[in-house]
Amino acid sequence: MNFTILSQVGENLTLRSNELWFIPFDVVMIIFMTLSVILTMIFLIVISINKTCHTVQMMFVTNRLFSTFILGLFLLGSSIFTFRNDLQQIQYEDLLCIFRGYMIYASGAAQNYSNVVEACYRYFIIIYPTRLYFRSFYMSIAIFINE
């Protein structure tokens, strides 16, 4: 199920092939990334409006949601770019391709780091419940500055 086209590069004719399943995969990726961005935006708005969500634990959740939002934005932009190139059968990189790839990896690493920080905080709260400085607001701020 591939279709091929001939393109002339210099003096040689080259054969380019695009798989037909690229386009539906791109559409599904755009739908899920849009849903991810919208849901994280809704959750961030609810957390910022609701006064009962202004706790240290919810600060870690908000950090994780924000990193998921940023990752979703970069993945959505990359998916739209890939979809446009698959429709037009363009196989070259644009000027921002390397930057988009770097930002996807960097925001993915930030999301993983955010998950690790939240897991460490929960670990310290459960294992050392009598040490109150792990629960303090200043300790969580120090963790975020380290991040």
| Tens-digit pLDDT profile for residues 15-34 | 456 677 788 899 999 999 99
To the nearest whole percent, how much of the chain has pLDDT over 90? 37
Range of the domain at 53: 21-146
**CA 70 vs CA 13, 52, 113, 117: distances in Å:** 42, 25, 14, 18
Helix (H, G, I), strand (E, B) or coil at 68: helix
In terms of pLDDT, which residue wins out, 105 or 12? 105
Instruction: Compare 38 and 95 and report the one with higher pLDDT.
Output: 38
Number of domains in the chain: 1
Q: Residue 4: what pLDDT?
A: 47
Answer yes or no: is 16 within a domain: no
14 is a domain residue = no
Residue 30 structure tokens: 């755009």
- Whether residue 66 lies inside any domain: the answer is yes
Band of pLDDT at residue 11, cut at 50, 70 and 90: low
Using pLDDT thresholds of 50, 70 and 90, give the confidence band for residue 14.
Answer: low
Outline where the chain has alpha helix (H).
22-49, 56-88, 97-127, 137-146
Mean pLDDT of 99-119: 92
Is residue 13 one of the residues assigned to a domain? Answer: no
Residue with more model confidence, 13 or 97:
97
Residue 57 lies in a domain: yes
Phi, psi of 9 (to 5 degrees): -120, 110
